[in-house]
């Protein structure tokens, strides 16, 4: 992606679904199978703890043990996919793990989302879009805002700007406190001349979250919209705050140029 919209992706990351272990013993043929599933769950839980502590090799061992005891442990397959993708740099192996998790549970939204991120990182955007769409079809998906946000990024890569804006807006509707989605939506609104929407959205957002990673961008966009609307005092305050937070940001030269005009 090139041009203005590339600035969006520079400040945003694909939104992954972390390992969330929710156990439910499946149908078993006998006590021995039930015991295997319980032990597998214990290994998966321990693996999740190791991941949280940054002990990725230990986590991998535990997830493998879980799969040996219960090949249908979807959480373990999904977690191994995350390890392959982000710790071991094995994208193809990660894809296989995510697809195996989906094969076990065809409505496993977390795996669909993570597979979509995997495919996006490998620039297979059309396939990724399909995965994110499948993730949000599940009415009991716990973090649909993540999939909507990722879907918006894919729409941008495919130059589907209106669809991207719709996806980002939906992500912010579901989770009003989602900074990346809020910034992405504001950027697109700014580029399309929707400054009243930018002002309303970012002003309210910054009231409750004045500082967050990338907050300089919110102040910059708000300041530029104030400037375009003839609100010099507000524009100066917002642009100065943006420069204070990130004096070397890509937008810094433009912010300084506008501030000089306001003096």
CATH number at residue 58: 1.25.40.10
Percent of the chain with pLDDT over 70: 88
Residue for token pair 């930018």: 198
pLDDT above 80 for 80: yes
pLDDT at 6: 43
Shared domain check, 5 and 40: no
The H-or-E segment that residue 165 falls in is: helix 161-174
Torsion angle of C-alpha atoms 124, 129, 131, 132, degrees rounded to 10: 130
pLDDT at 35: 85
User: Could you write out the DSSP letters of every residue in 174-243?
Assistant: H-TT-HHHHHHHHHHHHHTT-HHHHHHHHHHHHHH-S--TTHHHHHHHHHHHHHHTT-HHHHHHHHHHHH
pLDDT above 80 for 8: no
Shared domain check, 261 and 133: no
Shared domain check, 218 and 100: no
Shared domain check, 28 and 145: no
Shared domain check, 59 and 115: no
Shared domain check, 25 and 98: yes
Distances (CA, A) of 18 to 40, 75, 139, 149: 19, 10, 19, 15
Single residue among 146, 163, 180 that ends a domain in this structure: 163
Side-chain half-sphere of 259: how many Cα atoms within 13 Å?
Answer: 15
Q: Looking at the domain assignment, is residue 201 inside a domain?
A: yes
Torsion angle of C-alpha atoms 258, 260, 262, 263, degrees rounded to 10: 170
Q: Which residues contact 224 (CB under 8 A, 6 or more apart)?
A: 190, 235, 239, 254, 255, 258
pLDDT above 90 for 3: no
Shared domain check, 48 and 1: no
Q: Looking at the domain assignment, is residue 176 inside a domain?
A: no
Q: Looking at the domain assignment, is residue 184 inside a domain?
A: no
User: Considering its fold, how many domains does the chain have in total?
Assistant: 3
Q: How far apart are CA 263 and CA 258, in angstroms?
A: 9
pLDDT above 90 for 245: yes
Query: Of the candidates 149, 40, 16, which has an alpha carbon nearest to the alpha carbon of residue 94?
Result: 16
Shared domain check, 9 and 123: yes
Average pLDDT of 161-167?
Answer: 98
Tokens of 186: 């504001």
Shared domain check, 206 and 257: yes
Query: Of the candidates 156, 165, 174, 167, which has an alpha carbon nearest to the alpha carbon of residue 194?
Result: 165
pLDDT at 33: 77
Instruction: Report residue 211's pLDDT band, with 50, 70 and 90 as the boundaries.
Output: confident
Shared domain check, 135 and 101: no
Query: Of the candidates 74, 73, 82, 77, which has an alpha carbon nearest to the alpha carbon of residue 38?
Result: 73
Average pLDDT of 104-123?
Answer: 97
Report the predicted TM-score, pTM, of the whole model to 2 decimal places. 0.85
pLDDT at 37: 83
Residue range of the domain that includes 153: 1-16+106-163
Shared domain check, 4 and 120: yes
Shared domain check, 100 and 32: yes
Average pLDDT of every residue of the chain: 90
């Amino acid at each position: 992606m090139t041009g203005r919209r590339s600035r969006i992706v520079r400040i945003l990351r694909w939104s992954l679904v972390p390992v969330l272990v929710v156990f439910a013993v499946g149908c078993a043929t006998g006590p021995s199978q039930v015991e295997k599933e319980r032990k597998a769950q214990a290994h998966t839980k321990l693996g999740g703890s190791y991941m949280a502590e940054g002990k990725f090799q230990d986590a991998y061992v535990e997830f493998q043990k879980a799969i040996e005891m219960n090949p249908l442990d979807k959480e373990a397959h999904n977690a191994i996919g995350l390890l392959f993708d982000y710790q071991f740099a094995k994208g193809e192996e990660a894809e296989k793990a995510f697809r195996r998790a989906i094969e076990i549970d065809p409505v496993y939204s977390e795996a669909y989302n993570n597979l979509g991120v995997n495919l996006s990182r490998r620039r297979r955007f059309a396939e990724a879009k399909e995965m994110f769409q499948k993730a949000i079809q599940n009415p009991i998906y716990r973090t649909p805002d993540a999939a909507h946000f990722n879907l918006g990024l894919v729409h941008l890569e495919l130059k589907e700007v209106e669809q991207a804006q719709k996806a980002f807006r939906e992500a912010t509707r579901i989770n009003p406190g989602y900074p990346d989605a809020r910034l992405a939506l504001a950027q697109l609104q700014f580029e399309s001349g929707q400054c009243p929407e930018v002002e309303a959205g970012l002003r309210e957002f910054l009231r409750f979250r004045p500082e967050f990673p990338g907050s300089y961008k919110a102040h910059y966009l708000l300041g530029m919209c104030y400037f375009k609307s003839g609100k010099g005092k507000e524009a100066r305050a917002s642009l100065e705050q943006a420069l204070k937070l990130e004096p070397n940001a890509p937008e810094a030269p433009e912010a300084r140029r506008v501030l000089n005009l306001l003096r």
